[in-house]
């Protein structure tokens, strides 16, 4: 069979979203970021809002999110993305505005900004990647690091007496009157990916309905930081992260 | 004739912002400048011009809201006082690194630390030499009257957009809290979406049209070559600003044998010192830098040869005097008189100090 | 013409507002004006003062250490500002609560029993306008008409029904002031 007979529209089973650029991602093999980026790109493409979407990238591994999605991007100072998003959405209410933040950015240095943006009910989307570790700086303890988890700054495992407890920031966010949709998802298998995509789409739709802030935590892996193969990382996440950070909607109104 | 209204310097900032088509104000209360946001909230400009006004949860958040708004090509601003500006310095560094236009008003109070709410000029170094990290510059305007507070808002936005650079109005408790009459200027409407596209679409995050790739606003440049090239570009821009934007005023300098250099409220107090000196037959004049960055180097340089002495008078322990000494460069003795931590000297006190220096 | 005034008393006596009316009156007759308050914790009940400058020419320093006129409404302010009145200048004070009265002989001292007059009017809030009236009588640098115009500018519209009361209070002050 000639190759041209194979490459036909009717034979196409999968296509890369047109919102994704051709740039090769810098993320480690097995990292959840790439999958979440792909989902975001697909939602933006399917909703036809590429020209109306403004993304705000954090400090952390996903600082470079702007290299992968072909939309307008702002790159925030560490933890401050919700402040940038607040102003952007208020000054341009017809735009879809989302922040993309990791656990260090959102749940440690940026706690004030995320709590108050959510409490004001800013009509923005927050994508929160929780992999329980600082990836970009080399695997240090995150606010969401589990008790006993070994990181570069908890070499003997996280000890509550020394380091405090893992922070369930999403549960806190769900308490705030300003949030309309708070959910915790994951992307380790096709079923989970589909659920996360539905959640992200819903969040983007919410942001034009004046309902308040939509907040999506994606429990993720960092196999480099965790020093595990992609498969082992997924298994560790399911066995250790999910019991402490259970999946599902915390709030939907 | 345009209407003249009695108002506080802080109120003037607010009215000028609405009047000159500012798109957004983001702030956090701190004495002695809280009237800026209070006035805006009272005036409800969102119902008239559509200007957004928001009380943020902190100065850190305020400046980052300004950062977000500036990314969208909007005329955005914040105001604060010394301790709050310290918190904003990280954001200012990002704004400068990303080459974003914005206005930051600092109504200075005494420090260091929590300090006092009384007037001070002790943030001269912070405003003119950096504040945040990295090789960057902020254009700094120093108002001396309430009319200046009003007029410099529009001027700041003009400069901010001309050079895509943060601009700071460096006032103090005196010009913030004082009331004087202000002549209102003709109103400028806010920019329309079309004007915004035309002016800023090449760089701002207005939403990516099909005709161009996505705009990315970032100060991150991990590659040393790219980082250096960006810094050289910034330095070239600052050189242009230095060549074109230095502003100053002189008072009785033509025949002067002695010079006082003072900015902001101190320059006015020193005009009275000139009167006292001239009553005693001493030919004293005042140079008032209006822009503290870029510093009016040429103006001061040209005055130095005729002076028997120069005195820098500041509400701090000697900051601008370092620039004065640098420019005087040994050609005339440079003295310093300052009061610190919120104390404001009277003309008589300054004159007494001046006389001591020339008698030595 | 240049008139440099300090008005000093307790927070709550209407010191800042009195200065403001005076400044607005100056604007109404096209004078240059500055109004420079002491600000801060004083606003919450401690001593409070404002310096007002009215001038036909551009005003340089808003910070002064010597005044043409001092309007003094409590003992602390009298102790502080009596010595800062220029020789030949004017000191107007309310004797209420004053234990050590003005002593200088080289200035014109005037007395306005504004607390008593306000009580007679049955309106404690008219206090500062009575004091203002006293000043205008002694130092007519701003006309009565222009002060009233300034007052109208300064009062929010919802308070314009108070105009008559305030005008009355100013007149009472003009009548009641005693030159010692």
Tell me the domain boundaries of chain A: 3-252
A91, A98, A208: best to mutate for the B interface, most B CBs within 10 A: A91
B188-197, long-range: CB < 8 A, 24+ apart: B188/B19, B188/B20, B188/B21, B188/B154, B189/B21, B189/B49, B190/B21, B190/B22, B190/B23, B190/B49, B190/B50, B190/B51, B190/B75, B191/B21, B191/B23, B191/B75, B196/B73, B196/B74
* pLDDT value of residue B1: 56
At B17-39, the pLDDT tens digits run 999 999 999 999 999 999 999 99
Full set of structural domains in chain C with CATH:
2-179 (3.40.920.10)
Longest dimension (CA), chain C: 45
Q: Tokens 């109120």 sit at which residue?
A: B11
* Beta carbon pairs, A and B, within 8 Å: 123
* pLDDT value of residue C44: 53
Among A89, A87, A120, smallest CA distance to B70 is for A87
* pLDDT value of residue B145: 98
Nearest CA distance, B268 vs chain C (angstrom)? 5
* pLDDT value of residue C157: 87
CATH architecture of structural domain B248-359: 3-Layer(aba) Sandwich (3.40)
Among B15, B39, B250, B235, smallest CA distance to B146 is for B15
B156 pLDDT band, cuts 50/70/90, is: very high
Tell me, yes or no, if A99 comes closer than 8 A to chain B by beta carbon: no
Nearest by CB to A91, from B60, B69, B90: name it.
B69
Nearest CA distance, B143 vs chain A (angstrom)? 28
Name, in order, each residue with C-beta under 8 angstroms of B89's C-beta and a sequence gap of 6 or more: B126, B131, B132
Helical spans, DSSP H, in C3-143: 15-28, 75-81, 114-121, 127-138
Could you give the 3-state DSSP secondary structure of residue A180? strand
C73 touches C91 (CB < 8 A): no
State whether B180 and C33 contact (CB < 8 Å). Answer: yes
Residue of C161 and B14 predicted with greater confidence:
B14
State whether B217 and A53 contact (CB < 8 Å). Answer: no
Q: Based on C-alpha coordinates, what's the Rg of chain A? A: 18
Q: Based on C-alpha coordinates, what's the Rg of chain B? A: 21
* pLDDT value of residue C55: 97
At A84-117, the pLDDT tens digits run 999 999 999 999 999 999 999 999 999 999 999 9
Tell me, yes or no, if B73 comes closer than 8 A to chain A by beta carbon: no
Q: Write down the domain spans for chain B.
A: 4-183, 248-359
pLDDT at B271 over 90: yes
CB atoms within 10 A of CB A6: 8
Tell me, yes or no, if B184 comes closer than 8 A to chain A by beta carbon: no
At B78-135, the pLDDT tens digits run 999 999 999 999 999 999 999 999 999 999 999 999 999 999 999 999 999 989 999 9
* pLDDT value of residue B130: 81
Q: What burial class does residue C162 get, using C-beta atoms within 10 Å of its C-beta: 0-12 exposed, 13-18 middle, 19+ buried?
A: middle
For the segment(s) A3-252, the CATH number from 3.40.50.970, 1.25.40.10, 3.20.20.70, 3.40.50.720 is: 3.40.50.970
Angstrom distance (rounded) from CA A139 to CA B354 = 61
State whether C61 and B178 contact (CB < 8 Å). Answer: no
State whether A91 and B23 contact (CB < 8 Å). Answer: yes
* pLDDT value of residue C66: 94
Q: C-alpha distances in angstroms, A134 versus A225, B106, C50?
A: 8, 36, 56
Helical spans, DSSP H, in chain A: 3-6, 32-47, 81-91, 103-104, 111-120, 160-163, 169-174, 190-206, 223-226, 230-236, 242-244
B4 pLDDT band, cuts 50/70/90, is: confident
C37, C43, C50, C63: best to mutate for the B interface, most B CBs within 10 A: C63
Name the strand (E) or helix (H) holding B175: helix B173-177
Residues of chain A with pLDDT under 50: none
Nearest CA distance, B276 vs chain C (angstrom)? 12
DSSP state of B316: S
pLDDT at B10 over 90: yes
B88, B205, B220: best to mutate for the A interface, most A CBs within 10 A: B205
pLDDT at B227 over 60: yes
Q: What is the mean pLDDT of each run of 10 residues along chain C (180 residues)?
A: 95 91 95 89 69 96 95 95 97 96 97 96 94 97 94 87 93 95
Name the strand (E) or helix (H) holding B221: none
The mean pLDDT value of chain B amounts to 97
Return the structure tokens found at B93. Answer: 């560094």
Q: Where are the beta strands (DSSP E) in B89-149?
A: 102-108, 139-141
Q: Tokens 């030499």 sit at which residue?
A: B129
CATH, range B4-183: 3.40.50.970
Q: Based on C-alpha coordinates, what's the Rg of chain C? A: 15
Chain A residues with beta carbon closer than 8 angstroms to that of B56: 83, 116
State whether B179 and C66 contact (CB < 8 Å). Answer: no
Nearest by CB to C20, from B6, B275, B348: name it.
B6
Angstrom distance (rounded) from CA B55 to CA B30 = 12
Q: What burial class does residue A80 get, using C-beta atoms within 10 Å of its C-beta: 0-12 exposed, 13-18 middle, 19+ buried?
A: buried
């Amino acid at each position: 069979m000639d190759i041209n007979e194979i490459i036909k529209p009717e034979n196409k089973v999968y296509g890369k979203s047109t919102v994704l650029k051709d740039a090769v991602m810098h993320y480690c093999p097995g990292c959840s970021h790439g999958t979440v980026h792909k989902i975001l790109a697909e939602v933006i493409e399917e909703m036809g809002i590429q020209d109306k979407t403004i993304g705000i990238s954090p400090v952390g591994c996903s600082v470079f999110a702007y290299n992968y999605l072909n939309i307008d991007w702002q790159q925030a100072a560490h933890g401050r993305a919700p402040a940038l998003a607040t102003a952007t959405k208020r000054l341009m209410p017809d735009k879809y505005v989302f922040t993309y933040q990791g656990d260090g950015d959102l749940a440690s240095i940026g706690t004030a900004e995320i709590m108050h943006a959510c409490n004001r009910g800013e009509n923005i989307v927050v994508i929160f990647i929780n992999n329980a570790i600082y990836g970009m700086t080399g695997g240090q303890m995150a606010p969401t690091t589990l008790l006993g988890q070994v990181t570069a700054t908890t070499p003997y495992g996280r000890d509550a007496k020394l380091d405090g407890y893992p922070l369930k920031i999403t549960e806190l966010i769900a308490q705030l009157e300003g949030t309309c949709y708070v959910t915790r998802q994951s992307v380790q298998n096709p079923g989970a990916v589909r659920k996360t995509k539905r959640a992200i789409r819903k969040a983007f739709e919410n942001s034009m309905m004046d309902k308040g802030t939509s907040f999506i935590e994606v429990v993720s892996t960092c196999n480099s930081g965790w020093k595990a193969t992609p498969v082992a990382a997924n298994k560790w996440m399911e066995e250790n992260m999910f019991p402490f950070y259970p999946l599902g909607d915390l709030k939907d109104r | 004739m345009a209407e003249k209204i009695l108002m506080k310097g802080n109120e003037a900032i607010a009215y000028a912002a609405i009047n000159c088509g500012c798109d957004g104000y983001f702030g956090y209360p701190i004495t002695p400048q809280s009237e800026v946001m209070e006035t805006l909230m009272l005036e409800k400009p969102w119902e008239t011009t559509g200007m957004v006004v928001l009380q943020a949860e902190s100065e850190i958040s305020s400046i980052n809201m300004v950062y977000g708004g500036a990314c969208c090509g909007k005329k955005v601003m914040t105001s604060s006082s010394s301790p709050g500006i310290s918190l904003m310095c990280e954001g200012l560094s990002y704004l400068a690194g990303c080459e974003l236009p914005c206005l930051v008003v600092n109504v200075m109070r005494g420090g260091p630390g929590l300090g006092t709410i009384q007037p001070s000029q002790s943030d001269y170094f912070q405003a003119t030499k950096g504040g945040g990290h990295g090789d960057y510059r902020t254009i700094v305007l120093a108002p001396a009257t309430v009319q200046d507070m009003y007029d410099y808002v529009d001027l700041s936005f003009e400069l901010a957009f001309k050079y895509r650079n943060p601009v700071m109005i460096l006032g103090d408790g005196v010009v913030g809290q004082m009331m004087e009459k202000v002549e209102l200027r003709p109103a400028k409407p806010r920019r329309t979406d079309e004007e915004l596209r035309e002016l800023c679409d090449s760089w701002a995050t207005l939403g990516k049209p099909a005709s161009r790739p996505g705009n990315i606003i970032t100060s991150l440049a991990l590659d040393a070559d790219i980082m250096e090239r960006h810094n050289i570009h910034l330095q070239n821009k600052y050189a242009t600003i230095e060549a074109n934007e230095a502003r100053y005023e002189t008072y009785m300098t033509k025949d002067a044998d002695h010079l006082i250099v003072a900015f902001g409220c101190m320059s006015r107090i020193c005009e009275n010192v000139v009167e006292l000196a001239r009553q005693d037959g001493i030919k004293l004049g005042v140079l008032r830098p209006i822009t503290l960055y870029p510093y009016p180097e040429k103006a001061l340089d040209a005055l130095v040869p005729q002076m028997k002495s120069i005195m820098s008078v500041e509400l701090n322990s000697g900051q601008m005097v370092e620039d004065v000494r640098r420019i005087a460069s040994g050609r005339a003795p440079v003295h310093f008189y300052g009061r610190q931590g919120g104390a404001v000297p009277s003309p008589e006190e300054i004159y007494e100090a001046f006389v001591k220096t020339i008698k030595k | 013409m240049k008139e440099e005034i300090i008005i000093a008393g307790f927070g709550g006596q209407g010191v800042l507002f009195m200065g403001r009316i005076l400044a607005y009156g100056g604007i109404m007759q096209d004078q240059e004006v500055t109004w420079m308050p002491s600000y801060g914790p004083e606003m919450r009940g401690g001593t409070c003062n404002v310096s007002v400058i009215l001038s036909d020419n551009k005003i340089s320093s808003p910070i002064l250490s010597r005044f043409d006129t001092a309007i003094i409404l409590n003992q602390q302010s009298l102790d502080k500002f009596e010595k800062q009145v220029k020789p030949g200048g004017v000191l107007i004070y309310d004797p209420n609560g004053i234990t050590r009265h003005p002593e200088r002989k080289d200035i014109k001292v005037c007395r306005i029993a504004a607390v008593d007059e306000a009580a007679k009017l049955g309106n404690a809030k008219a206090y500062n306008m009575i004091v203002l009236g006293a000043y205008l009588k002694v130092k007519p640098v701003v006309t009565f008409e222009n002060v009233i115009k300034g007052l109208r500018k300064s009062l929010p519209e919802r308070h314009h029904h108070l105009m008559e009361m305030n005008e009355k209070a100013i007149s009472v002050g003009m009548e009641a002031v005693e030159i010692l």
